[in-house]
Amino acid sequence: MTEEFTDAELESFLDETLDGEHAIEIEQALRSDRTLLERLSQINGRRDAGMHTLGEIWRRNQIGVPTREEMGNHLLGVLEDAHSDYIRFRLEVLKCPFTIAMKKDLVNQHEESAEDSKKRRNKIYDSSSGYLPKKQS
């Protein structure tokens, strides 16, 4: 049962960067599998001693996470296909929490901006509607 989770997954679990469903699976397995708990303890001990894997360094430093500009271009559909495919891979396959959070943030920001623009336009129209000349028949 302990081999169903990779060391990378356990490291991500310790960093709290796994998607919720996968984190729940590991947590439930830890409650019943002493060997898995020992593996997790060894990984944590190795990290505390200052030894890190290349994958762990990538995750901790968010190497490969697209910039806000790249994500914005991806959402607008103006990014090169290969780069856009990479961002989709991070979102759909890796389920990178940093990439997902950035996408959600940009989408929310765009929606709020559109709503603010609409409110501003309506406010201007309402405040100036009395000053517009009446249409003569």
- Residue 71: Cβ-neighbour burial (10 angstroms; 0-12, 13-18, 19+): buried
Which pLDDT score is estimated for 126? 72
Which pLDDT score is estimated for 26? 94
Residues 78 and 108 grouped into a single domain: yes
Between 79 and 62, the higher pLDDT residue: 79
Residues 10 and 55 grouped into a single domain: yes
Q: How many domains does the chain have?
A: 2
Q: What pLDDT digit, counting tens, does each position of 117-134 carry?
A: 777 777 777 776 666 666
Whether the per-residue pLDDT at 136 is higher than 70: the answer is no
Domain containing 6: what range?
A: 2-60
Residues 15 and 45 grouped into a single domain: yes
Kindly indicate the confidence band of residue 1, based on its pLDDT and cuts at 50, 70 and 90: very low
Residue 86 lies in a domain: yes
Which pLDDT score is estimated for 68? 94
Residue 123 lies in a domain: no
Residue 69 lies in a domain: yes
- Of 22, 45, 60, the last residue of a domain is 60
Residues 68 and 55 grouped into a single domain: no
**Mean pLDDT (the chain, rounded):** 84
Residues 91 and 50 grouped into a single domain: no
Q: 81, 77, 71, 78: which is closest to 106 by C-alpha?
A: 71
Whether the per-residue pLDDT at 34 is higher than 70: the answer is yes
Query: Three-class SS of residue 72?
Result: helix
Residue 106 lies in a domain: yes
Show the DSSP H helices in the chain as ranges. Answer: 7-15, 20-32, 34-48, 54-60, 68-76, 81-92, 97-128
pTM: 0.56
pLDDT mean over 96-122: 84
